[in-house]
Amino acid sequence: MTGYDIGPWSLRWRGLSVPDLRRTESTFALSNGHIGMRGTLDEGEPRGLPGTYLNGFYEEHALPYGEAGYGYPEAGQTVVNVTDGKVIRLLVEDEPLDMRYGRALEHERELDFRTGTLRRRTVWESPTGRKVTVTSERLVSFTQRAVAAIHYVVEPEDDLQLVLQSDLLANEPIEERSGDPRVAAALDAPLVAEFRWAEGKRAVLAHRTRHSGLRLAAGMDHELEAGNGLRSHIHAEDDLVRFTAAADVPAGNALRLTKYLGYGWSTQRSVPALRAQVEAALAGARQTGWQGLLAEQKAFLDDFWEVADIEVDGDEELQQAMRFALFHILQAGARGETRAIPGKGLTGPGYDGHAFWDSEMFVLPVLTYTVPDAARDALRWRHSTVDKARDRAQVLGQHGAAFPWRSINGAECSAYWPAGTAAFHVSGGIAHAVAQYHAATGDEEFDRECGTELLVETARLWMSLGHHDKHGGFRIDGVTGPDEYSAIVDNNVYTNLIAQKNLREAAEACERNPATASALEVHPDERTAWLEAAMRMRVPFDALLGVHQQAEGFTAHAEWDFAGTDPGQYPLLLSKPYFDLYRKQVIKQADLVLAMHVRGDAFTAAEKAANFAYYEARTVRDSSLSAGTQSVLAAEVGALQLAYDYLAEAAFTDLHDLHDNVHNGLHMASLAGAWIGVVAGFGGMRDHSGLTFAPRLPPGLDRLAFRMSFQGIRFSVAITRGEATYRIVAGGPLRTAHHGEPVVVEPGAPVTLPIPEPPTPPEVHQPAHREPARRVPG
């Protein structure tokens, strides 16, 4: 039992389980990509790990090295838990509502994917026997990005004196979560008070960080409805504003509080400017009102589900998980607006709040094909950091732009370069996402203003990273691919193929945008050199085994002793040294298999089958990034049940807490991997040149359907036993292909086509103890 009720459009948890609070605070987190709030109880305690995050708001700390080296990043960045506005405490005749005391006669919380709110309903009997019903609903607005709001209602069973305390609380003490004393020190009361103001029901607090030079303002405003004798008071300190309201509420009546929250932050703006910004946000929110905010939120989500919904007929739990995944990806990216999409979104402090390559390679495909403006904004963030990436390339002795392995503000924060800086495929992934976004939207303005520069500067990086060898092949040596159980390798297939595409896309972008190309000083012979390098790109193949090598020499390495590895020793990085992992044929996560997805055009079907079987037997999936991609290739080679197992693994990573770390936040890339498993796996969607499909229904399901957007056309693909139906939802017509046959789908004229038999899959097995759980739909 996972603890959640299964339902198609919401995630609900009944009863209180204190040990589960940490993970449910993550799954119940609300965010719009700009502001994030973990799903902490209104009253603040009991709690797991409290957290309110502002995208791009971090503290800096020194990165320590036992042995330093040239070019090592000196400063780390860590997301900061900012001023908490969620807290609303209730005192019932002076007894604080605390779920650990008295009795919770009823208690449930529900995250609603259609309203975009987190609801809570608690019937509580105080230790002295007083009963109240508390209902609350919380949202972080998709439409007013600086705003969150909470509607809080208390209904007493008897005439009771009720007191509400509504706080803005800065420098909330948190259990230390870093083993490094310097990081811990940086995060211990990270906010320095700069300004406080409170009057009537309104207040603003402003703080700055000590080292990173960021400033934030948080404001709150309130609306109250109550019975007689309402008394209220507001009090401000440096790190606390408390609005207190007391009322005598007769049985059958209610005390209703609406709390509006506004946040503003900046590296540049002054305290007065930030205060003005926050007050404007609050004024706007009050003008819209609680009902108005609810209505806007619903409308926003209606539109989202129209273009993004996935229907799974025959597996209710997976149905729920798919919508949960889509909802959280939307939350992570909807209003990021030239900020990063962190690996955990804004749902927790995991990975220090950093964004990684999986933002472009996993999360952005989902957004590109559902909410393309959000994909564009995320890529605009990358573009806004291109100067930092150029500086980094220079430090590394390279041309062009080298984007960071992990970062909040665009500067490299990785303290272990073999698995960080050396993973230059990060830059190729950005180029891939740029090209994918351009192909899916035809957005010429972005192409001209941002896309071309990103493609050109990453192409330049590859040209300086690689060289033509004595046989005329173009090699990229000494880099690290996606598989983190290998590092500093030559000619990693994934990297080389993503670089190949990067070089070609850069050349095409320059042809499309000659003025931009000229501003970037791209000369015709530079374009020629890109195309020559792309043409001669080395892709190592082991002729003896008939499979590609993940990197040069990989298949000559020793096999890992899977039989002698205890199930408890996984993930291997916690029980085995990198040294031993790197030099053996053990794979943390899809690497060559990912190449066969995103550069499927570079492999024959027979190669895909042989490679998939070979690498499947050596992949341990110690990363949550892996299962979605394995699902895609399993489906392609005809291993449909296995594909379904992997799809389920990706989809349930967070709901089943498969890695026992959901308390630090959700795995955005894994959630995205579930979408990829459906759309690219069972839908067979590829976008190598044009958009194509090869749908297949997994065993046991009655129907699987998904929706997406391509060049402004919204359409759905529904897969049933033996056939698939393509239907235009808006716009059109759509030109695509079904299992290799061109199809044109006109508006109002769905096309239903038969599904050919899948190929006979190769014989496939996984390392001992690492088989995915068998998922039987139903």
Catalytic residues: 484
Pick 287 or 579: Cβ nearer a copy of itself: 579
Pick 170 or 413: Cβ nearer a copy of itself: 413
Hey, which residues between 282 and 321 contact a copy of itself (CB under 8 A)? none
- Nearest approach in angstroms of CB 421 to a copy of itself is 6
Return the range that interacts with a copy of itself (CB under 8 A); candidates 189-197, 237-245, 577-585, 706-714.
577-585
Return the range that interacts with a copy of itself (CB under 8 A); candidates 128-136, 168-176, 374-382, 472-480.
472-480
* Per-residue contact flags (x/-) with a copy of itself for residues 161 to 200, judged by CB under 8 A: ------------------xx--------------------
Contacting residue, 114, 576, 656, 659, with a copy of itself by CB under 8 A: 576
Using alpha carbons, list the distances in angstroms from residue 177 to 39, 173, 185, 415, 517.
19, 11, 11, 18, 47
Going by their DSSP bridges, the two strands 558-559 and 584-585 should be labelled as parallel
- Nearest approach in angstroms of CB 765 to a copy of itself is 20
**Which residue in 693, 686, 676 sits closest to 740, CA to CA?**
693
- Nearest approach in angstroms of CB 563 to a copy of itself is 15
* Per-residue contact flags (x/-) with a copy of itself for residues 416 to 435, judged by CB under 8 A: xxxxxxx-------------
Q: Do the Cβ atoms of 414 and 357 come closer than 8 Å?
A: no
Query: CA–CA separation, 742 vs 760, rounded Å?
Result: 24
Does residue 391 have a known ligand-binding role? no
**Which residue in 29, 73, 89, 70 sits closest to 53, CA to CA?**
29
Query: CA–CA separation, 29 vs 86, rounded Å?
Result: 12
* Per-residue contact flags (x/-) with a copy of itself for residues 664 to 703, judged by CB under 8 A: ----------------------------------------
What residues have CB less than 8 Å from 412, skipping those under 6 apart? 73, 392, 404, 405, 406, 420, 421
- Nearest approach in angstroms of CB 480 to a copy of itself is 10
**Which residue in 640, 635, 724, 652 sits closest to 686, CA to CA?**
635
Contacting residue, 574, 740, 754, 757, with a copy of itself by CB under 8 A: 574
Say whether residue 398 binds a copy of itself (CB under 8 A): yes
Say whether residue 445 binds a copy of itself (CB under 8 A): no
Pick 261 or 423: Cβ nearer a copy of itself: 423
- Nearest approach in angstroms of CB 464 to a copy of itself is 10
Contacting residue, 250, 397, 442, 472, with a copy of itself by CB under 8 A: 397
* 431-454 CB burial, b ≥16 within 10 A, e <16: bbbbbbbbbbbebeebbeebbbbb
Say whether residue 390 binds a copy of itself (CB under 8 A): no
Hey, which residues between 544 and 563 contact a copy of itself (CB under 8 A)? 544, 552-553, 556-558
Query: CA–CA separation, 570 vs 588, rounded Å?
Result: 10
Say whether residue 583 binds a copy of itself (CB under 8 A): yes
Pick 339 or 354: Cβ nearer a copy of itself: 354
Query: CA–CA separation, 366 vs 375, rounded Å?
Result: 8
* 521-555 CB burial, b ≥16 within 10 A, e <16: ebeeebbebbeebbebbbbbeeeeeebbbbbbebb
Pick 406 or 714: Cβ nearer a copy of itself: 406
Helix (H, G, I), strand (E, B) or coil at 170: coil
Pick 31 or 77: Cβ nearer a copy of itself: 77
User: Contacts with a copy of itself: how many residues (CB under 8 A)?
Assistant: 53
Query: CA–CA separation, 338 vs 381, rounded Å?
Result: 4
* Per-residue contact flags (x/-) with a copy of itself for residues 449 to 468, judged by CB under 8 A: -----------------xx-
Hey, which residues between 112 and 131 contact a copy of itself (CB under 8 A)? none
* Per-residue contact flags (x/-) with a copy of itself for residues 48 to 87, judged by CB under 8 A: ---------------xxxxxxxxx----x-----------
Pick 35 or 539: Cβ nearer a copy of itself: 539
Structure tokens at 68: 């330093």
Pick 436 or 491: Cβ nearer a copy of itself: 491
For 163, the enclosing helix (H) or strand (E) is strand 160-169
Going by their DSSP bridges, the two strands 310-313 and 703-710 should be labelled as antiparallel
Q: Do the Cβ atoms of 674 and 647 come closer than 8 Å?
A: yes
Pick 68 or 251: Cβ nearer a copy of itself: 68
- Nearest approach in angstroms of CB 477 to a copy of itself is 4
Angle between helices 372-384 and 425-441 in degrees, nearest 10 = 140
Return the range that interacts with a copy of itself (CB under 8 A); candidates 139-147, 446-454, 471-479, 497-505.
471-479
Cα-flanking dihedrals φ and ψ of residue 731, to 5°?
75, -155
Contacting residue, 237, 387, 444, 469, with a copy of itself by CB under 8 A: 469
Return the range that interacts with a copy of itself (CB under 8 A); candidates 107-115, 449-457, 581-589, 619-627.
581-589
Does residue 287 have a known ligand-binding role? no
Return the range that interacts with a copy of itself (CB under 8 A); candidates 32-40, 78-86, 410-418, 604-612.
410-418
Cα-flanking dihedrals φ and ψ of residue 534, to 5°?
-60, -45
Per the rule left: phi > 0, alpha: psi between -120 and 50, beta: everything else, 93 is left
What residues have CB less than 8 Å from 564, skipping those under 6 apart? none
* Per-residue contact flags (x/-) with a copy of itself for residues 489 to 528, judged by CB under 8 A: -x--------------------------------------
Contacting residue, 186, 463, 479, 679, with a copy of itself by CB under 8 A: 479
Does residue 357 have a known ligand-binding role? yes
3-state SS of 93-104?
CCEECCCCCCEE
Contacting residue, 128, 575, 752, 760, with a copy of itself by CB under 8 A: 575
Specify the DSSP class assigned to residue 678: I
Going by their DSSP bridges, the two strands 703-710 and 131-140 should be labelled as unpaired
Q: Do the Cβ atoms of 67 and 191 come closer than 8 Å?
A: no
- Nearest approach in angstroms of CB 577 to a copy of itself is 4
Query: CA–CA separation, 113 vs 672, rounded Å?
Result: 16
- Nearest approach in angstroms of CB 373 to a copy of itself is 35
For 116, the enclosing helix (H) or strand (E) is none
Largest CA distance in the chain: 89
Pick 100 or 471: Cβ nearer a copy of itself: 471
Cα-flanking dihedrals φ and ψ of residue 372, to 5°?
-55, -30
Say whether residue 739 binds a copy of itself (CB under 8 A): no
Does residue 358 have a known ligand-binding role? yes
Which one-letter amino acid corresponds to residue 11?
A: L
Return the range that interacts with a copy of itself (CB under 8 A); candidates 164-172, 258-266, 578-586, 658-666.
578-586
Pick 253 or 491: Cβ nearer a copy of itself: 491
Helix (H, G, I), strand (E, B) or coil at 58: strand
Which neighbouring-strand residues pair with 704? 312, 719
Please name the residue that has the structure tokens 């991997």: 673
**Which residue in 431, 482, 481, 439 sits closest to 459, CA to CA?**
431
Say whether residue 475 binds a copy of itself (CB under 8 A): yes
Pick 180 or 449: Cβ nearer a copy of itself: 180
Angle between helices 372-384 and 386-395 in degrees, nearest 10 = 50
**Which residue in 429, 556, 420, 431 sits closest to 480, CA to CA?**
420
- Nearest approach in angstroms of CB 618 to a copy of itself is 15
Query: CA–CA separation, 152 vs 136, rounded Å?
Result: 4
Structure tokens at 22: 């940490």
Say whether residue 278 binds a copy of itself (CB under 8 A): no
Where is the binding site, in residues? 357-358, 588-589
Where is the binding site for substrate, in residues? 357-358, 588-589
- Residues within the interface to a copy of itself (CB under 8 A): 63-71, 76, 179-180, 395-398, 414-422, 466-467, 469-470, 475, 477-479, 487-488, 490, 544, 552-553, 556-558, 573-580, 582-584
